[in-house]
Chain A
Amino acid sequence: MEAEVKDQLVSIEKPGLIAPPNWEPVIMGILCNWCSYAGSDLTGTSRIQYPPNIRIIRVPCSSRVDPWFLIKSLQTTADGVLVSGCHPGDCHYISGNYYARRRFLVTKKLLNFVGFHENRIQFSWVSAAEGPKFAKVVNKVTEDIKKLGPLHLYKKENFEKK
């Protein structure tokens, strides 16, 4: 019995909370249309395999990503989020990713500050040519978040109970 519990995966923020058997994390991937989404398409066309946990949302530019997209994802469906855009200097819209970069850093640090593990919010630059890199990124993010266990902070259902 003791052992069993040990083997089970606990939520890193709430050790009391144990993941259901064969739990799989959900990762919300928000990709910019011109680099990262194209890159992820390339990953597909070149048949590079990666874990199926990621759910991809297309936005025109990483600068379209409002921090509360991340907050909301984490509060509702996702155990982690990945935002990906064009490499600095490659932005299709000249400077979008520079503005985004600042917001991302502050958001990541703030969420970590209020108790989210930093690996639940991740960012990457993936160009339209970097199919393999996209697969690598998704692999890493998925592994990281599997280690962290289910996210149960401020999930809607937690509070409808009371």
Chain B
Amino acid sequence: MARVGVFICFCGANIADYVDVPQVVEEVKHIKEVKFAIEYKYMCSDPGQGMIRDAIVQYKLTSIVVAACSPRMHEKTFRKALSDAGMNPYLLEVANIREHSSWVHQKDKKAATEKAMDLCRMAVAKSIANEQLHEISVPVTKRALVIGGGIAGIQAALDIADARIPVVLVEKSPSIGGKMAQLDETFPTLDCSQCILTPKMVDVASHPYIELIPYAEVLELEGFVGNYKVKIKKKASFVNFKTCTGCGACWQKCPVKVPNEYNMGIDKRKAIYTPFPQAVPNKPVIDAEHCTMLTKGKCGICAKVCEKGSIDYTMQDEIIEREIGAVVVATGYDMWDPKPYEEYGVGRFKDIITSLEFERMVSANGPTNGVPVRPSDGKVPKNVVFIKCIGSRDEAKGIEYCSKICCMYTTKHTILLHHKVHDSHAYVFYMDIRAAGKGYEEFVKKAQVDTAATYLRGRVSKIYKKGDKLMVRGEDAQIGQVVEVEADLVVLATAVIAPKDNPDLARLLGISYDKYGYLSEAHPKLRPVETAKAGIFLAGCTQAPKDIPDTVSQASACAAKVCGLFAGDTMKKDPMVSTINNEYCSGCQNCVKVCPYGAIVTDEVPFGHGSKEMRTVAKINEGVCQGCGSCVAICRSMAINLAGFTDPQIINEIVSI
């Protein structure tokens, strides 16, 4: 026989003024299960909670109803009060007589009071069917997976590993470093990108808690927060990294020349190559697409010259598995292809290049040893025109959003140009200068003075060839006139876009992405590094365009989240999840189909007691179940129930008034 205690709150005047609380108390006392009912000014206050604790002990209550404000407000508070009194906190029900009665029926006290009574009756009825529930604790595998070895991935991996949590870092190219490794100097301080990045790269390689898996891709992720299992494909490198010393004899001798991705195809690399001198790991890989030994079976020079015999043309892709508890996605970004700008003659004029190509040229270790040259004739350019917002902020040809970093790197480029070619002059066509950031505005101002670059506010309408010069015609909106600039070289500040395989990755991880292909955060303001899927976090440009400082901060934030997740040996979880009654389950598996979280799997149980024959039933994975109840409603044999919202509880509510 249930013994319910009802505690009705005045909430100061909030309830008392519009609901006749004493009358409600009298009314509920008539319910036969109610053994104790009392009102108080502030139930949530300490004395209020004290009354609850005492009553539980004194009247041997089996469930508690608090009639007060919305359960969304104080349910937790009162649950705590219950457990303090040694009672299972889930035996509490809250009747919402403030938001749902006193505040919305202020003109009709009688009706409000009656409604309050009904709400109490419903809560009492429900609480009678309440069951003792216990927090679910899910064991966690304390290992993190970081996807992408750019600065974001590197930072996240290091921060997590420094907390003595093992990290698996997967990078799809042969070396970590990402886009930042291609940069020359970085705004706003102009410190050399390599100088600040390479030490971190080395740390990653040497860190005892980091397992670096380069030249690999994530194939499949299964499981749930704290208990993921990931399949990783190690692409065949045809070089045995264990024995290879990285001496470089192989790629020096290799006869096959291939456009060099690292240098934006400005120069050539070999078919066996290390992407760049400072690569980590500094071991070459064979590009199976171009290696004549692998394609035609001819050559084999690298094998001959390798003293260690590390070359193995028979190497196959390898699939490895790792158990992990959390994932940090840091797949970075791509640059937009400016082909649609036909009026600029993109593709026809050699001397129009993208900013990343320019970056490589002016980079000390670049294809032209740090001197910008005209691709057409190799001459050093004097007049260079920089055009911003190529693809960015352009609904017609590109994407609507602002790429955020172009203003700053273009400013940087004018400085670099000024440094490398002293008698050069830079022209910058811009829409706005967006220099929000620490030291950014100052940086731009200073650059404008130092380089004496000509800033022209307006779009370029046409580029045409005159002799060996490029004529750049645009508008100078500030004087409202068409201007023409004679340029030796034109640099397009192309937009930052999401990596093209982001959607596939998102599907494989089971997270969402926006219309541009950027991965979506759980909340734009309050949960900017989490995804909607528990245990998967986002770092860097894979979520939206960012500069290096922002990327690094987000990466560290991810690390903090991962550490938080792994703080205990197990994760606590709300027990309000679905449960299956095998006896009733007929194994139609419709619930498996409907569950949005894949929390339901199938299980084999014997037919009746001691029967050899097995039958299929559904099985809930408590760790994954979020407690939506979709499966409960579609289960025809009512074999599934949702703790906290069971059918008996809801029926009691329905029929109690």
Binding site for B on A (CB under 8 A): 26, 28, 33, 37-38, 40-41, 43-45, 47-50, 52, 55-61, 63-66, 69, 72-73, 76-78, 92-96, 99-100, 103, 135
CB < 8 Å: which of A26, A64, A78, A95 contacts B633?
A64
Q: Roughly how many angstroms separate A38 CA and B114 CA in the complex, as a whole number? A: 23
How would residues 98 to 123 of chain B score, 1 for a CB under 8 Å from any chain A CB and 0 otherwise? 11110111111001101100110010
Q: Roughly how many angstroms separate A100 CA and B594 CA in the complex, as a whole number? A: 11
On whether the beta carbons of B645 and A64 are closer than 8 Å, the reply is yes
On whether the beta carbons of A57 and B70 are closer than 8 Å, the reply is no
Q: Roughly how many angstroms separate A95 CA and B634 CA in the complex, as a whole number? A: 14
Q: Roughly how many angstroms separate A65 CA and B118 CA in the complex, as a whole number? A: 21
Q: Roughly how many angstroms separate A72 CA and B71 CA in the complex, as a whole number? A: 25
A38/B72 contact (C-beta < 8 A), A49-B107, A77-B657 known: yes
A96/B104 contact (C-beta < 8 A), A69-B654, A77-B654, A77-B657 known: no
On whether the beta carbons of A59 and B629 are closer than 8 Å, the reply is yes
B96 within 8 A of A: yes
Q: What 9 new A-B contacts, CB under 8 Å, besides A57-B653, A64-B632? A: A44-B70, A48-B104, A49-B104, A52-B114, A56-B119, A57-B122, A60-B642, A64-B642, A65-B633
The 8 closest A-B pairs by CB, nearest first: A44-B99, A64-B629, A93-B628, A52-B111, A63-B630, A44-B103, A94-B596, A61-B628
Q: For residue A45, which residue of chain B has the nearest CB?
A: B99
Q: Roughly how many angstroms separate A96 CA and B633 CA in the complex, as a whole number? A: 10
Q: Roughly how many angstroms separate A103 CA and B655 CA in the complex, as a whole number? A: 22
Q: For residue B113, which residue of chain A has the nearest CB?
A: A52
Shortest CB-to-CB span from B619 to chain A, Å, is: 20
Q: Roughly how many angstroms separate A25 CA and B151 CA in the complex, as a whole number? A: 64
Which one of B70, B103, B628 has the greatest number of beta carbons of chain A within 10 Å?
A: B628
CB < 8 Å: which of A52, A56, A96 contacts B630?
A96
Interchain Cβ contacts under 8 Å between A and B, 22 examples = A38-B72, A40-B99, A41-B72, A41-B96, A44-B103, A49-B106, A52-B101, A52-B108, A55-B119, A55-B122, A56-B100, A57-B122, A57-B653, A57-B654, A59-B645, A60-B628, A66-B633, A76-B654, A77-B655, A77-B657, A93-B628, A94-B597
B57 within 8 A of A: no
CB < 8 Å: which of B107, B114, B630 contacts A93?
B630
Q: Which residues of A contact B111 (CB under 8 A)?
A: 52
Consensus secondary structure, chain A interface:
mixed
B319 within 8 A of A: no
Q: Which residues of A contact B632 (CB under 8 A)?
A: 64, 66
Number of A-B contacts (CB under 8 A): 115
Shortest CB-to-CB span from B151 to chain A, Å, is: 33
Q: Which residues of B contact A96 (CB under 8 A)?
A: 596, 628-630
On whether the beta carbons of B104 and A43 are closer than 8 Å, the reply is yes
Q: Roughly how many angstroms separate A135 CA and B99 CA in the complex, as a whole number? A: 12
Q: Which residues of A contact B96 (CB under 8 A)?
A: 41, 56
CB < 8 Å: which of A52, A69, A76, A92 contacts B105?
A52
Q: Roughly how many angstroms separate A90 CA and B302 CA in the complex, as a whole number? A: 58
On whether the beta carbons of B104 and A72 are closer than 8 Å, the reply is no
Shortest CB-to-CB span from B612 to chain A, Å, is: 36
B651 within 8 A of A: yes
Q: Roughly how many angstroms separate A131 CA and B651 CA in the complex, as a whole number? A: 27
Q: For residue B655, which residue of chain A has the nearest CB?
A: A76
On whether the beta carbons of B630 and A72 are closer than 8 Å, the reply is no
Q: Which residues of A contact B101 (CB under 8 A)?
A: 52
On whether the beta carbons of B633 and A52 are closer than 8 Å, the reply is no
Q: Roughly how many angstroms separate A33 CA and B629 CA in the complex, as a whole number? A: 12
Q: Which residues of A contact B107 (CB under 8 A)?
A: 49
Q: Roughly how many angstroms separate A48 CA and B654 CA in the complex, as a whole number? A: 25
Q: Roughly how many angstroms separate A40 CA and B72 CA in the complex, as a whole number? A: 11
Q: For residue A49, which residue of chain B has the nearest CB?
A: B104
Q: Which residues of A contact B104 (CB under 8 A)?
A: 43-44, 47-50, 52, 135
On whether the beta carbons of A61 and B630 are closer than 8 Å, the reply is yes
Shortest CB-to-CB span from B399 to chain A, Å, is: 23
Q: Roughly how many angstroms separate A57 CA and B596 CA in the complex, as a whole number? A: 24
B260 within 8 A of A: no
On whether the beta carbons of A45 and B629 are closer than 8 Å, the reply is no
On whether the beta carbons of B72 and A37 are closer than 8 Å, the reply is yes
Q: Which residues of A contact B118 (CB under 8 A)?
A: 55
Shortest CB-to-CB span from B594 to chain A, Å, is: 6
B650 within 8 A of A: yes
Q: Roughly how many angstroms separate A7 CA and B450 CA in the complex, as a whole number? A: 90
Q: Which residues of A contact B597 (CB under 8 A)?
A: 94
CB < 8 Å: which of B100, B532, B626 contacts A40?
B100
Q: For residue B70, which residue of chain A has the nearest CB?
A: A41
Shortest CB-to-CB span from A16 to chain B, Å, is: 26
Shortest CB-to-CB span from A50 to chain B, Å, is: 6
Which one of B70, B96, B629 has the greatest number of beta carbons of chain A within 10 Å?
A: B629
On whether the beta carbons of B103 and A47 are closer than 8 Å, the reply is yes
Q: Which residues of A contact B654 (CB under 8 A)?
A: 28, 57, 69, 72-73, 76-78
Q: Roughly how many angstroms separate A2 CA and B63 CA in the complex, as a whole number? A: 53
B627 within 8 A of A: yes
CB < 8 Å: which of B112, B628, B647 contacts A52?
B112
Q: Which residues of B contact A52 (CB under 8 A)?
A: 101, 104-105, 108, 111-112, 114-115
Which one of A61, A65, A135 has the greatest number of beta carbons of chain B within 10 Å?
A: A61
Shortest CB-to-CB span from A109 to chain B, Å, is: 18
Q: Roughly how many angstroms separate A93 CA and B598 CA in the complex, as a whole number? A: 12
Q: For residue A103, which residue of chain B has the nearest CB?
A: B633
Shortest CB-to-CB span from A146 to chain B, Å, is: 14
B330 within 8 A of A: no
B576 within 8 A of A: yes
Q: Roughly how many angstroms separate A69 CA and B652 CA in the complex, as a whole number? A: 11
Q: Which residues of B contact A93 (CB under 8 A)?
A: 596, 626, 628, 630
Shortest CB-to-CB span from A140 to chain B, Å, is: 15
CB < 8 Å: which of B100, B596, B653 contacts A95?
B596
On whether the beta carbons of A99 and B594 are closer than 8 Å, the reply is yes
Q: For residue B629, which residue of chain A has the nearest CB?
A: A64
A61/B657 contact (C-beta < 8 A), A44-B98, A44-B100, A52-B111 known: no
Q: Roughly how many angstroms separate A135 CA and B106 CA in the complex, as a whole number? A: 14
Interface positions of B from 488 to 536, Cβ below 8 Å from A:
532
Q: Which residues of B contact A61 (CB under 8 A)?
A: 628-630
On whether the beta carbons of B634 and A99 are closer than 8 Å, the reply is yes
Which one of A52, A92, A135 has the greatest number of beta carbons of chain B within 10 Å?
A: A52
On whether the beta carbons of A57 and B650 are closer than 8 Å, the reply is yes
On whether the beta carbons of A49 and B105 are closer than 8 Å, the reply is yes
Q: Which residues of A contact B657 (CB under 8 A)?
A: 26, 55, 77
Q: For residue A28, which residue of chain B has the nearest CB?
A: B654
Q: For residue A61, which residue of chain B has the nearest CB?
A: B628
A63/B633 contact (C-beta < 8 A), A56-B100, A77-B654, A95-B596 known: yes
Q: Roughly how many angstroms separate A90 CA and B71 CA in the complex, as a whole number? A: 22
Shortest CB-to-CB span from B133 to chain A, Å, is: 14
On whether the beta carbons of B72 and A60 are closer than 8 Å, the reply is no
Q: Which residues of A contact B108 (CB under 8 A)?
A: 52
Q: Which residues of B contact A38 (CB under 8 A)?
A: 72
Q: Roughly how many angstroms separate A66 CA and B111 CA in the complex, as a whole number? A: 30
On whether the beta carbons of A64 and B114 are closer than 8 Å, the reply is no
How would residues 613 to 642 of chain B score, 1 for a CB under 8 Å from any chain A CB and 0 otherwise? 000000000000011111011100000001
